[in-house]
Amino acid sequence: MLKTGGAIVLLAAAAALFGPALTPFDPVSQELALRLAAPTLSHPFGLDELGRDILARVLAGARISFLVGVTVVSISASLGTVLGAAAGYFGGLLDDAIGRAIDILLAFPGLLLAIALVAVLGPSLVNVLFALTIIGWVGYARLVRGQVLRVRELEYVQAARAMGARAPHILWRHIIPAAMPAVVVQATLGMGGAIVGEAALSFLGLGVQPPSPSWGTMLNGGRAHLLDAPHLTIFPGLAIAALVLGLNFLGDGLRDATDPRRNT
């Protein structure tokens, strides 16, 4: 599972990185005479409603997906780790304040808050990144807070405290590293979540705006052509599903590999 997931994600990352070299077509240049043309040897995924090469757009879309996944996960995981560690270690008012913020954000199911935020801020890639980060950090904070509560009373942490180590040092050197395996698993699964989140928002017309080739925007464009050009829907969706499946395989594999109960 770990290897399969890793292979799929590496393949998708390579496609995102070297995409433009893999196809002679530009993702935004139009050939109106060939609009909605079915897949052929020269255009293996066919052309879209404006005569743009779908393979070139799927490859360019991989860049947007990775950009969203990596950005959202990096900021959410860093913010969530710091806030969760501080809440768990210091307790008291800080813990209460962070805990209430987490409770309120978790009261909005899934993407709903992201939809609400993008609805008022306006559709754009930056607002999508902001909205997904706002809902993203909560999971990490809750996870790390729980881990810190478990670790902070362990002997090696008490020993560090007795030796006069300051709180930031103890958190950075002793406590946060103990929470890292769980954070890495969450980040892998969270990257899939962020990619689907961006695609969902773009599909609803609230995310990346045309002509940028986001996979969600492409699926949104395909809705009007289910009858006459299903390839507009099939290929971008396949790309999302494959990458998210790869990330889920990788996350599950990492979880199993880092779960002490599985190794005993």
Tell which positions 75-94 bind other proteins, by CB under 8 A: none
Segment contacting other proteins (CB under 8 A): 44-52, 54-62, 84-92, 238-246?
238-246
Among 120, 163, 164, 260, binds other proteins (CB under 8 A): 120
Among 50, 178, 184, 245, binds other proteins (CB under 8 A): 245
- Of 31 and 256, which has the nearer Cβ to other proteins? 256
What is the C-alpha separation between 236 and 241, in angstroms, rounded?
A: 9
Q: Does 122 bind other proteins (CB under 8 A)?
A: yes
Q: State in angstroms the smallest separation of the CB of 163 from other proteins.
A: 35
Instruction: Compute the half-sphere exposure of residue 39: CA atoms within 13 Å on the CB side of its CA.
Output: 11
What is the C-alpha separation between 260 and 116, in angstroms, rounded?
A: 40
Segment contacting other proteins (CB under 8 A): 78-86, 114-122, 144-152, 177-185?
114-122
Q: Does 192 bind other proteins (CB under 8 A)?
A: yes
- Positions touching other proteins (CB under 8 A) are 100, 103-104, 107-113, 115-117, 119-122, 192, 196, 199-200, 203-206, 216, 219, 222-223, 226-227, 230, 233-234, 236-238, 240-241, 244-245, 248-249, 252
